[in-house]
A and B are shown apart, each in its own frame.
Chain A
Amino acid sequence: MKKVNVTTNRWRTVDVVVAAVIAVTFGVIFWAWGLLWSVASPVFAFFPPAQAIMYGVWLIPAVLGGLVIRRPGAALFCEMVAATVSTLLGSEWGSITLLQGLAQGIGAELAFAAFRYRSFRLPTALLAGALTGLSAALFDFFVWNGEYALGSYRIPYALLTIASATAIAGFGAESLTRALARTGVLALFPAGRERTTI
């Protein structure tokens, strides 16, 4: 095993562009997801509580960006670009998406900062998923869900959001990073090199 240490926090061009590309790609994936689910299952589209189960899917870019790029601000940058792309592709919520992206990005960023940008293993990923889920849940709790019943809707929705984010964005992004590393496309990143030399 050869360890590659990140000695500098300066972003290389490849860090900036690949972080943005990850975000942009998820913008396209969400677009395709919208096509799929609005046709396949109106239940999802018209019944928001069901959406909370899949909430973590929207939060993958934040955690994945942090795990792949491994630089301070990567999670936040990734989620902000993803939010901008969603806005530009015609998100339901317009410019509020940017604020939502900011909140979610900060959530994931805090987790990586808590480990001082030194650990990018599963526990960090899970915490990043949970915190980005928490910030998303808080945002929705106050901004969008104020008129719904507290006990039967707002609290379960928030808890479901956090659980989904931890599982899908946290665990999911960590497995995705490992799968991407195996394809060789992360060769320029520590996440892709932290393996036996080939």
Chain B
Amino acid sequence: MIDLEPVTRPDAPLARRNPVAKLAAALLCSVILIATLDPVAPAIAIAFELALLPLFGIRLRVLARRAMPLLVGAVGVLVTLVLFAADRSGRILIEAGPFLVTSGVLITALGLVLRMFAVALPGLIVVATTDPTDLADALVQNARLSARFAYGALAAFRLVPLLAQEWQMISMARRARGIDAGRDPLARLRLFGSTAFTLLVGAIRRGTRLAVAMDARGFDATTPRSMARRQHFGHADGLLIAGAAVLAGAALAVSVAVGTFRPLIG
């Protein structure tokens, strides 16, 4: 089931930072780290990220559970590299038909997998520590996003757990109509499509009603909107963004200094 509640202790010093600041910090961090293909920079960045976890009030176990899909991605990277690596230099470890695994391939794989984690963790941390309402408020108040779009999206977002439940009801209703796909992959695909379509029809119907109800409470008014909740963007928030850039930059600098840096393009 889908759960949207943040999992952090609300008093953690960095978790309390402005959501826009957290988002900007995560994006900046990811963009800087994505620029290199070597294992050293992401390894340092991951160390930083994990060291900062207590300041965000997240337990390692919780983060590990949320990072599970990354492991699947990591295996995918490994498989693809073994089959399609551009660079197969280094000592030959395994050679069997099309499979040529060299030490170079493994180092590249290590780099890509670490980079994937280093780039993804900041986003996971932001998600785990941010309330969607606070994010929408901050996007409107601090990032000057249009209130109509931010709160329109937020209202739709509130439907996520509802739609997830609905997915399961619709799936059971399919069985109640005598439809099951068994092991046939094509039948599964068709069943999936039909379930998704029913979900979409119901969701659009809901969305239309929700929009009318929002207008009935003046959401389409042309007068300027006021804000019942305030989000502050202070020095500490600026520092968080700067700190993220500095840490990611430092990781990159170390990799340049030790000569392992390999830029993404060029």
Contacts and interface: CB of A to CB of B under 8 A. Distances in A.
Chain A facing B: main interface SS = helix
Contacts of B211: 12-14, 16-18
Given A14-B208, A21-B204, A142-B264, A147 B156 contact: no
The contact size tier of chain B is 35 or more
A98 interface: yes
A170 interface: no
B123 interface: yes
A186 interface: yes
Given A16-B148, A94-B30, A148-B84, A185 B201 contact: yes
A77 B156 CA distance: 13
Nearest to A81: B153
A160 to B, nearest CB: 13
A32 B127 contact: no
Interface string B110-141: 01100010011111101100001000000000
Contacts of B261: none
A113 interface: no
B149 interface: yes
B199 A48 contact: no
Nearest to A20: B156
Given A94-B120, A147-B37, A29 B196 contact: yes
Interface of B is mostly: helix
B179 interface: no
Given A17-B207, A46-B79, A94-B121, A147 B86 contact: yes
Interface stretch (B212-220, B234-242, B248-256): B212-220
Contacts of A115: none
A191 to B, nearest CB: 11
Interface stretch (B8-16, B40-48, B159-167): B159-167
B18 interface: no
B163 A25 contact: yes
Contacts of A93: 73, 116, 119-120, 123
B80 interface: yes
A38 B72 contact: yes
A149 interface: yes
B263 to A, nearest CB: 10
A90 B124 contact: yes
B199 A25 contact: yes
Interface string B14-42: 00000000010011001100100100000
B200 A22 contact: yes
Given A18-B207, A21-B207, A96-B30, 11 more contacts: A12-B211, A16-B152, A17-B214, A27-B160, A45-B75, A87-B123, A89-B160, A91-B123, A93-B120, A94-B30, A148-B86
